[in-house]
Amino acid sequence: MAVHLVLREHRLDATAGMFLSSLSGHLDKVSREYAQKPFTDLVESYRNGPPVWNPMKLADKFINLGENFVHHEDVRRGGGEYTPRDLPVATRDALWTLVFQAARGMIRSTGATVQLVRTDGSGAESVTVGTGEPEVTVSGEAGEIVLWVYGRDKAAGVT
């Protein structure tokens, strides 16, 4: 996980392999090189954030909210813990804002209408993606819906 996060912020040439299969070999090679580095060096590199030349620096606040939350839960739930954390209201609200911003781009068009319904807000809040049939409703806490939107279906506590 540490290698993935550091490469994403420090090696755009390798990161492209996450999205373009023709560059996946380069990503694998650079990942193996970084995996040889001491874990503490990787953590320190990530802690320092992306370099000023990296466009991630501008989008850090928006992209890393989802990325860090999802990967934290990947590690946490990979050990068998599936209980949602009791997150502060501000964090839950920020994650719900992320759902509004990311859902349309991240939920692939299947021809269905997907309604995402937040159950941990002060009122009924939802976002709808798509306009076709069938109509599907996914409900849960904001963080759980983020996990579902990011493709963590089996780990997300949604209905």
* Average of per-residue pLDDT across 98-124: 81
Q: Which range, 57-61, 80-84, 102-106, 139-143, has the best average confidence (pLDDT)? A: 139-143
* Other Cβ atoms within 10 Å of 12 Cβ, number: 15
CA torsion through residues 60, 152, 8, 55, sign? negative
Q: What is the pLDDT of residue 28?
A: 94
Which tens digits make up the pLDDT trace of 25-44?
999 999 999 999 999 999 99
pLDDT higher than threshold 90 for residue 82: no
